[in-house]
């Protein structure tokens, strides 16, 4: 759920997002969330249920989390190979810097 929220959380309503954060990221009880939001515990349950349904629906249609998870091993392999190349082979400092820059930029690209 947290990974879905990372990808699609900004698409939830503010109340859904607030409830989700308090429940799943900060581990608040339903009663604590209800008190914090000045709502009933049942309203909190409804917000959370709608949030989960929305997150799952976004993933079903867009598949961003699935694509990310499929690409992650490839990303890790490429990053490891770049690090190995930079450390295993005697290269000029400018080449090592270029390899490190490419690795950093690849990391930025993966986690946009």
The distance from CA 3 to its chain's CA centroid, rounded to whole angstroms, is 4
Backbone φ, ψ for residue 29 (5° rounding) = -80, 165
Work out the number of other CB atoms within 10 angstroms of the CB of residue 23. Answer: 20
**pTM of whole model > 0.85?**
no
Predicted confidence pLDDT, tens digits, the chain (112 residues): 999 999 999 999 999 999 999 999 999 999 999 999 999 999 999 999 999 999 999 999 999 999 989 988 988 888 888 878 777 767 788 888 888 888 888 778 776 6
């Amino acid at each position: 759920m947290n990974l879905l929220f990372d990808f699609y959380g900004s698409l939830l309503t503010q109340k859904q997002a607030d409830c989700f954060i308090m429940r799943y990221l900060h581990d608040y009880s339903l009663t604590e969330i209800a008190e914090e939001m000045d709502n009933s515990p049942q309203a909190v349950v409804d917000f959370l249920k709608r949030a989960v349904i929305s997150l799952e629906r976004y993933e079903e249609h867009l598949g961003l989390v699935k694509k990310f998870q499929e690409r992650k091993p490839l990303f890790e392999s490429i990053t490891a190979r770049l690090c190995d190349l930079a450390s295993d082979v005697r290269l000029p400092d400018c080449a090592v810097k270029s390899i490190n820059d490419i690795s950093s930029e690849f990391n930025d690209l993966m986690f946009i």
